[in-house]
Amino acid sequence: MEILQYALRKLLAGLPLILGVTLVSFALMVYFGPDMTYQLLGKNPTPEQILEVRQQLGYDQPFLQRYLVFLGEIVTFDFGVASTGEPVATLLAKTIPVSLILILPGFILGHVVGLLLALAAAYWRGSWPDKLIMAVAVIGMSVSFLIVIIGFQIVLSSSDGLDLFPVRGWNASSLGNYLSYVTVPTLATMFVALGYDTRFYRSVIVEEMTRDHVRTSRAFGLPESRILLRNILKNCLIPFITRVMFSIPQVAIGGALLIESYFGIPGIGKATYEAIVTGDQPVLKAVVSLTAILFVLVVVLNDILYRVVDPRVTLK
């Protein structure tokens, strides 16, 4: 119950943040974004035509008024019509699920496998399993994402390699199809994420291993494996949760954008990329505001999870 109140309070505290982020991004779009007027008009428009289009687009309204209209769009989830003629809400409903099922396996596997490798490296720290895992992690970090994608495509999807999976495209009509299309993007994201995540997890665990309470547990005869998997791991949860939570917006935007455009997958990342290139303002506004809201939700959820795992965090 106390937790619920705390969550509500945190959510309310997140509201001004949402307002601030949307205000800034809206200002950027208005003053630096593309002007749609001339795209909608033909060659040599008359001043009256220009005026008319600007009126239709709402450009003649004062800034504050336009911002309020924008906020109204966010609340009602009605972002108008994209330049393709499709309502933005429909576009989002179509593309977001694709991105979710595309990104989720790599995201979860990346963190889980990264944590397992880090535990192994920390348990055998200083000896060969540790050195091997860390060497592979450095390779994962050093190779560019694009090279990794191309490498996996050549090895797994081309006739020069194993030719097991389609090179690009998307089909999630059945589980078999889904797996064949999702495997290569998942492996590519995992490969890159593993490098960073394993190193991060290992360093947090190894740091925690030097704490006094670990020595106390040893002095009382608790077995090393139990100390690592219970006493140490629970103390690492705050940095771990922060890491996982804050990689959500990053993966949802950056990862999806790159992977989807490379593999030709019709997700939100690809739609965003196209909207940026064509200056499709309704889509951009929707993506920007939803990202801001996602970020605030992540921060709030992060704070709540802190309280769940660490008794020292107060609810006040």
Partner 1 sequence: MTKDLSQPVLKVRDLTVEFATEDGVIRAVDSVSFDVQPNETLGLVGESGCGKTVTGLAMLRLIPMPPGRIASGSIELDGRDLVPLPDRDLEDLRGRALSMIFQEPMTALNPVFTIGNQMTDVLCRHRDLTRRQARPVAAELLAKVGIPEPANRLDDYPHQLSGGMRQRVMIAMALSCNPRLLIADEPTTALDVTTQAQVLEQFRALQAEFRMAVILVTHDLGVVAETCQRALVMYCGSIVESGATAELFSRPRHPYTAGLLASIPRLRSERLPELPVIPGRVPDLLNLPAGCRFADRCPRVQERCRAERPVLTGRDSGVACHYPL
Burial pattern 75-105, b for ≥16 Cβ within 10 A else e, equals eeeebeebbeeeebbebbeebeebbeebbeb
Q: Which is nearer to partner 1, 157 or 217 (CB)?
A: 217
Binding flag, residue 213, partner 1 (CB under 8 A): yes
Work out how close the CB of 220 gets to partner 1 at its nearest, in angstroms, rounded to a whole number. 3
237 and 230 Cβ atoms separated by less than 8 Å: no
Say if CB 199 and CB 141 are below 8 A apart: yes
Interface residue with partner 1 among 1, 64, 221, 277 (CB under 8 A) is: 221
Choosing from 1, 175, 219, 277, the residue that interacts with partner 1 (CB under 8 A) is 219
Rg (C-alpha) for the chain, rounded Å, is: 24
Rounded to 10°, the helix 256-263/145-152 angle is 40
**Residue range at the interface with partner 1 (CB under 8 A); choices 5-13, 220-228, 266-274, 295-303:** 220-228
220 touches partner 1 by CB under 8 A? yes
Of 42, 62, 126, 176, the one binding partner 1 by CB under 8 A: 126
Q: Is 62 in the site for partner 1 (CB under 8 A)?
A: no
> Which phi and psi angles does 222 have, rounded to 5°?
-70, 140
User: C-beta of 5: minimal distance to partner 1 in Å?
Assistant: 21
Which of these ranges, 130-138, 222-230, 258-266, 268-276, lies near partner 1 under the rule CB under 8 A? 222-230
Shortest reach from residue 302's CB to partner 1, in Å: 17
What phi-psi label fits residue 231: left (phi over 0), alpha (psi between -120 and 50 degrees) or beta? alpha
Helix, strand and coil content of the chain, in percent to the nearest 5, comes to: 80, 0, 20
Q: Shortest gap between Cβ of 315 and partner 1 (angstroms)?
A: 14
Cβ-proximal residues to 65 (8 Å cutoff; 6+ apart), any chain: none
131 binds partner 1 (CB under 8 A): no
Among 97, 223, 254, 264, binds partner 1 (CB under 8 A): 223
The CB-of-229 to partner 1 minimum distance in angstroms stands at 13
Please measure the distance between the N-terminal and C-terminal CA atoms of the chain and give it in whole angstroms. Answer: 14
| Nearer CB in complex with partner 1: 131/213 | 213
| Residue 134 or 251 with smaller CB distance to partner 1 | 134
The dihedral built from the CA positions of residue 117, 118, 119 and 122, taken in this order, carries a sign that is positive
Region from 21-29, 64-72, 179-187, 217-225 binding partner 1, contact rule CB under 8 A: 217-225
Under a CB-based contact definition with an 8 Å cutoff, are residues 195 and 181 in contact? no
CB of 66 to partner 1, least distance (A): 49
Using alpha carbons, select from 29, 19, 35, 27 the residue that is nearest to residue 74: 19
Q: Which is nearer to partner 1, 126 or 176 (CB)?
A: 126
Site for partner 1 in 225-244 (CB under 8 A): 231, 234-235, 237
Residues that bind partner 1 (CB under 8 A): 126, 211-213, 215-224, 231, 234-235, 237, 309-312
